[in-house]
Amino acid sequence: MAKQNMIELSVGVFIAAGIAALAMLAIQVSNMSSFSDGEGYEVVAKFDNIGGLKVRSPVSMAGVRLGRVIDVSFDQESFEAVVRMRVNNKYNQLPIDTSASIFTAGVLGESYVSLEAGAEEETLKAGDEIEMTQSAVILEQLIGEFMVRSASQD
Count how many domains the chain has: 2
Question: Based on the domain organization, do 6 and 47 belong to the same domain?
Answer: no
Q: How does pLDDT run across 17-49, given as a tens digit for each residue?
A: 999 998 888 777 665 555 455 689 999 999 999
Percent of the chain residues topping a pLDDT of 90: 61
Residues 85 and 132 in one domain: yes
**Residue 47 near residue 138, CB atoms below 8 Å:** no
Is 51 domain-assigned? Answer: yes
Looking at residue 31, its pLDDT comes to 56
Residue 77 lies in a domain: yes
**55 and 97 share one domain:** yes
My answer on whether 54 and 75 are in the same domain is: yes
- Same domain as 44, residue 25: no
The verdict on residue 96 lying in a domain is: yes
pLDDT of residue 32: 56
Same domain as 17, residue 48: no
Q: Which residue has the higher pLDDT, 82 or 144?
A: 82
Same domain (yes/no): 25, 53? no
Q: pLDDT band at residue 122, thresholds of 50, 70 and 90?
A: very high
Residues 8 and 71 in one domain: no
Look at 5-9, 80-84, 142-146 and tell me which has the smallest mean pLDDT: 142-146
44 and 26 within one domain: no
Based on the fold, state whether residues 106 and 79 are members of the same structural domain: yes
Find the mean pLDDT for residues 94-105. Answer: 93
Q: Which domain holds residue 9?
A: 1-30
Round to whole Å and give the CA distance between 22 and 27: 9
Residue 86 has pLDDT above 60, yes or no: yes
* Shared-domain flag, residues 13 and 55: no
Strand order from edge to edge, sheet including 129-130: 129-130, 40-47, 80-88, 64-75, 58-61, 110-116, 99-105, 132-134
pLDDT score at 35: 46
Residue 152 lies in a domain: no
Domain for residue 154, yes or no?
A: no
Question: Is the model more confident about 33 or about 116?
Answer: 116
**Measured between alpha carbons, how far is 67 from 110 in angstroms, rounded to an integer?**
15
